[in-house]
A = this chain, B = another copy of it.
Amino acid sequence: MQQVTIDDVRAAADRIRGSVLRTPLIPAPWADGEGDQRLWIKPESLQSIGAFKVRGAFNAIASLDDATRARGVVAFSSGNHAQAVAYAASRYGITAHIVMPVETPEIKVAATRTWGAEVVLCAAGQREAVAAQVVADTGGVLIPPFDHPDVIAGQGTIGLEIVEDTPDVDTVMVPVSGGGLASGIGTALKALRPEVRVIGVEPELAADTAEGLRVGHPVDWSIEDRNRTIADGLRSQPSELTFAHLRRVLDELITVSENDIRAAVRELAMRAHLIAEPSGAVALAAYRVAARPGKTVVILSGGNVEPALLSEILAG
Question: Any chain B CB within 8 A of the CB of A126?
Answer: no
- Of all chain B residues, which has the CB nearest A91? B29
Taking the complex as formed, is A92 at the interface, i.e. its CB lies under 8 A from any CB of chain B?
A: no
A46 at the interface (CB under 8 A from B): yes
User: B26 to A21, Cβ gap below 8 A?
Assistant: yes
Complex: how many Å from CA A308 to CA B303?
Answer: 19
Contact residue among B26, B87, B307 (Cβ-Cβ distance under 8 Å from A269): B307
Complex contact A46–B270 (CB within 8 A): no
A272 touches B (CB below 8 Å): yes
Cβ of A219 within 8 Å of any chain B Cβ, yes or no, is no
Whether A116 contacts B34 in the complex (CB less than 8 A), given A269-B275, A273-B275, comes out as yes
Closest to A269 in B: B275
Query: In the complex, what residues of B have CB within 8 A of residue A48's CB?
Result: 27-30
Q: Mark A256-297, 1 if CB is under 8 A from B, else 0.
A: 000000000010011111111000000000000000000000
Q: Which residue of B lies closest to A50 (CB)?
A: B273
Sample 17 A-B pairs with CB under 8 A, ordered by A number.
A22-B24, A23-B24, A24-B46, A27-B48, A34-B116, A43-B46, A46-B273, A46-B274, A269-B275, A269-B310, A273-B275, A273-B304, A274-B275, A307-B315, A310-B311, A311-B314, A311-B315
Q: Which residues of A contact B (CB under 8 A)?
A: 21-24, 26-30, 34, 43, 45-46, 48, 50, 87, 90, 114, 116, 266, 269-276, 303-304, 307-308, 310-311, 314-315
